[in-house]
């Protein structure tokens, strides 16, 4: 079992990446590699759809951190969608992603990001 990475085309500044399988010490390199061009692009936010992810270790969490750091540098965000309970548990333990940036559906995440974007555009981001 290994990691499958599905990167759908970016839209509206949001890049959606669906992960499935195991994100561990052996596979995080693949993810880093595939995300690099995405993060290097002008996207504002990364939506990680984890519906298919069965396992994540600290190595995988580090990859997500890296992505968050990269986007945080330009005010972007990494939001997580649909983590399985065991993934959520790991996230909780290490605080991989803020709780309010974990959503149960892609649409929910999109709405959240749209709202964020509007706020940024209005320039009154007070959070």
Task: Tell me which of 102, 109, 113, 116 binds another protein, using CB under 8 A.
Answer: 102
Q: Return the number of other C-beta atoms located less than 10 Å from residue 69's C-beta.
A: 11
Task: Tell me which of 6, 92, 107, 125 binds another protein, using CB under 8 A.
Answer: 92
Q: Per residue in 23-52, is it b (16+ CB within 10 Å) or e — as a string?
A: bbeebbeebeeebeebbeeebbbbbbbbee
Q: Which is nearer to another protein, 8 or 36 (CB)?
A: 36
Positions in the binding site for another protein (CB under 8 A): 24-26, 55, 57-59, 61-62, 65-66, 68-69, 72-73, 85-86, 88, 90, 92-95, 98-100, 102, 104, 127
């Amino acid at each position: 079992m290994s990691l499958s990475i599905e990167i759908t085309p970016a839209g509206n500044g949001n890049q959606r990446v669906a992960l499935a399988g195991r994100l561990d010490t052996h596979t995080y390199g693949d993810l880093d590699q595939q995300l690099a061009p995405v993060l290097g692009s002008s996207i504002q936010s990364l939506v990680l759809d984890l519906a298919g992810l069965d396992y994540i270790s600290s190595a995988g969490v580090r990859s997500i951190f890296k992505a968050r750091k990269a986007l945080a540098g330009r005010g972007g965000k990494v939001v997580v969608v649909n983590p399985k309970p065991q993934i959520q548990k790991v996230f909780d333990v290490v605080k991989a992603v803020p709780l309010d940036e974990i959503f149960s559906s892609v649409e929910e995440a999109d709405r959240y990001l749209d709202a964020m974007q509007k706020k940024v555009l209005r320039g009154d981001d007070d959070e």
